[in-house]
Structure 1
Amino acid sequence: MADDDASSSREQTPQISTPSTADLSHIAASPRPGRGAGSATQAAHMELTGLLAALINSGELAPGVRLPAERDMCKQFGVSRTTVRHVLDRLERQNLITRHVGRGTFVAEPKTVHTMSMPESMVTSAEEASTYREVYRDMHVPNDRMRELMTVDEDEEVSRTARVRFVGGRSVSVEVVHLPTAVGGAVDDELLATGPLGVALAAAGVEVARARQRYDPVLSAPWESDLLDVPPGTPLMLVTRRSWDHEDRVVEYTLEYHRADRNSFLIEVTAL
């Protein structure tokens, strides 16, 4: 879904400022020895893709800037329309641009990057500062599966809080936090409503010793779609997490629904 806050000044179409070597017509018109014209076209395709990706990643083409029309890019870079379309397809798959029918092609907004360490990811899960808006809070009796995961007694209620997380003013995820009664009663309501879960747990004296996270691609239901401002059926990344304290008691069970177009997950693996 297109963001509605893009100003008209940001949508002005620029002439892409590039080095003199950005004229790729010499590549497209000169097949390499022993190879057909297809290899020259592929070379122009790869060079133009690399050039535009570098301009976007360096910030020279800023988020929200509209790229020239395909015919203008053909003229500027001396390549065919087929080459330009292949380049734009590749940049879109790399999440560097977004295309909107009737509006044009724009440099994509950067994604929120999450680190997978624990408990750090519960405290500083994004490089940019996050804000939260609480949607609802209640007490409920979990179903059999959740009761097993949280190791709570039959008919025992758990605290449930739903909230939307924003980064840079944009909604990036919906979080549904479940806390055992003992933990939920100790956590400060304001901290839970407005800040990272790890901060609220630490302030309540709850120390997270370990956690387990699972990642599943899902399609958004109407409830998540409304909160994240996306159409129903939009791809999301569902992160399911359980955390334990040093006495191996479950202290939280959380479901996080992340917009796939605004989040990226970084997992660093080291040798044992």
Structure 2
Amino acid sequence: MNHQLPAWLLNFKMNDTESDTPLYSQLLETMKQAIQSGSLKAGDPLPSESQLCKWLQVSRTTIRLAMDQLSEQGLIVRRRGRGSTVASPKLHRTLDHLYNFTEDMLVLQAVPESIVLESIIFSAGLTIGNMLNLPYDEQVLRLSRIRKANGEPILLEHTYLPMTKFPSLETVDFTSQSLYRLLRDEYHVQMGHATETYECVSLSKETAKLLQTAAGSPAFHVKRIAFTKSCIPFEYTESFARGDRCIFQAKLTSNQDSVDFKGAVRYHIE
């Protein structure tokens, strides 16, 4: 073993080489523990495969198997010619209540950020009108934003809101304003529930560029209609969530006769 061995690899040094557990699995667990404990932080560079082989006196196949597993689990990012780094933790969205991106990120001590791509008024048309139960010629605001956590693009959102319910909404600067907080505090919306649908898709070149990932990358296409407590729709949102940055967890409750799915979302960081 080399005296330059990082502290987070010392646990692997103590592992039993005669164990039934393959060496690559032992190394995998050692590195996972280092990442989850914070010994290795998001963005930290990892030693090269050759350096790990030299330090640990194991085969390159052992190193590669462990690194492949870490990559598949989203714990590291591997870039050809640039080495591997620790990935930012994925965002878990627990589907059990109506969520607020900005407020949930603050609870997690993550820094929320919104980049407004457009805020325009136009006629609802048939599709948006049906979603919001509006006449096709009713005016709606389309608010398109990239939502970031700690500077990394996570979601692309297109939100539609009826202008009859929310006059002057187009004048608000949503780079720093939480939409739901504004609707609640200034427009006195009593938020009730939401329905959401999820579809796995491949990102178009344009959307992938906005989310700073590769075209064709997997993503969740989420459609949401939010309702007031009196069951009146007040918001329709279509969003694209990066599949490599988000995990969705459904909460199911049961009784003797049925299983109920409770919708909407909450975030917590893995």
Letter in 1 for 2:236: Y
Query: Relative contact order (C-alpha < 8 Å, sep 6+): which is higher?
Result: 2
The separation in 1 between residues aligned to 2:103 and 2:93, in whole angstroms, is 8
Gaps of 5+ in 1: 1-13, 33-39
- Does residue 208 (structure 1) correspond to residue 191 (structure 2)? The answer is yes
Q: Name the residue aligned to 2:80.
A: 101
Aligned to 2:131: 149
Judged with a 3 Å threshold, the aligned counterparts in structure 2 of structure 1 residues 63 and 104 are, in CA distance, closer, same or farther, namely same
- Distance change (3 Å), C-alpha of 1:188 and 1:266: farther
Give the structure 2 partner of residue 244 of structure 1.
227
Deviation track 1:65-85 (CA, whole Å, cap 9, x = no partner) reads: 221121221232232211211
Aligned: 1:171 with 2:150:
no
Any conservation in 2 of the 1:115–1:121 contact (CA below 8 Å)? no
- Which structure: greater strand fraction? 2
What are the ranges of 5 or more consecutive residues in structure 2 without an aligned counterpart?
256-270
Instruction: Tell me the matched-pair count.
Output: 248
* 1:210-268 Cα shifts (integer Å, max 9, x gaps): 11122222222233223222232222222211111122111000112122233333444
**What's 1:4 paired with?**
none
Q: 1:224 aligned to 2:203?
A: no
Tell me what 1:196 maps to: 178
Higher helix share: 1
8 A contact 1:159–1:184 mirrored in 2:
no
Residue 146 of structure 2 contacts residue 155 of structure 2 at CA under 8 Å; is this kept in 1? yes
Q: Work out whether 1:132 is the aligned partner of 2:119.
A: no
Amino acid at match of 2:124: P
AA at the equivalent of 2:12? A
- Structure 2 vs 1, CA of residues 23 and 122 (structure 1 numbering), >3 Å: closer, same or farther? closer
Residue 191 of structure 1: how far off its partner (Å): 5.8
Q: SS where residue 182 of structure 1 aligns?
A: coil
CA distance in 1, matches of 2:15, 2:158: 54
Q: Distance in 2 between matches of 1:221 and 1:265?
A: 21
- What is the TM-score with the length of structure 1 in the denominator? 0.80
The one-letter amino acid paired with 1:260 is G
Q: SS in structure 2 opposite 1:237?
A: strand
Aligned-pair CA distance for 1:24: 7.3
Give the drift of 1:139.
1.8
In structure 1, how many angstroms separate the alpha carbons of the residues matched to 2:16 and 2:188? Answer: 67
Structure 1 pair 25–72 and aligned structure 2 pair: CA distance change class (3 A): farther
Q: How far apart in 2 are the matches of 1:139 and 1:19?
A: 57
Shift of 1:25: 8.4
Conserved 8 A contact 2:225-2:237: yes
Paired AA for residue 162 in structure 1: S
260-269 or 194-203, which deviates more: 260-269
